[in-house]
Copies of this chain bind each other. A is one copy, B any other.
Amino acid sequence: MTEDLPNPALLPSGLSDVLPPEAAREAALVEAMLSVFAAHGYERVKPPLLEFEDSLLAGSGGAVADQTFRLMDPDSHRMMGVRADATPQVARIAATRLADVPRPLRLSYSGQALRMRGSQLAPERQIAQAGIELIGPDCAEADAEVALLGVQALAAVGVTAPSLDITLPTMAPALLDAAGVQGELRRRLARALDRKDAAAVHALAAEAGPPAIGLTALLTAAGPADRALQALGEAELPPAARAIADNAAAIVAAIRARAPELRITLDPVEFRGLQYHVGVAFTLYGPGSTGELARGGRYRSGEEAATGMTMYPDAVRRAAPVPPMPPRVFIPLGADLAVAAGLRTQGFITVAALSPADTPQRLRCGHILRGTIAAPIEENA
Contacts and interface: CB of A to CB of B under 8 A. Distances in A.
Interface string A109-131: 11110101100000001100000
Contact of A354 (B71, B110, B137): B137
Candidate in A23, A107, A354 with the most chain B CB atoms within 10 angstroms: A354
B354 A145 contact: yes
Interface in A70-117: 71, 73-76, 78, 80, 82, 92-93, 95-98, 102-104, 106-107, 109-112, 114, 116-117
A51 B38 CA distance: 33
B40 A117 contact: no
Interface size class of A (residues with CB under 8 A): 35 or more
Given A12-B50, A12-B80, A17-B93, A104 B363 contact: yes
A116 B74 contact: yes
B145 A352 contact: yes
Contacts of A98: 19
A52 interface: yes
A110 B27 contact: yes
Contacts of A145: 352, 354
Interface of A: 5-21, 23-24, 26-27, 31, 34, 38-41, 43-52, 54-55, 58, 69, 71, 73-76, 78, 80, 82, 92-93, 95-98, 102-104, 106-107, 109-112, 114, 116-117, 125-126, 137, 139, 141-142, 145, 258, 328, 337, 344, 348-352, 354-355, 358, 361-364
A261 B195 CA distance: 69
Q: What number of copies of this chain does the assembly contain?
A: 2
Contacts of A31: 27, 31
B354 A106 contact: no
A362 B137 CA distance: 13
Nearest to A116: B74
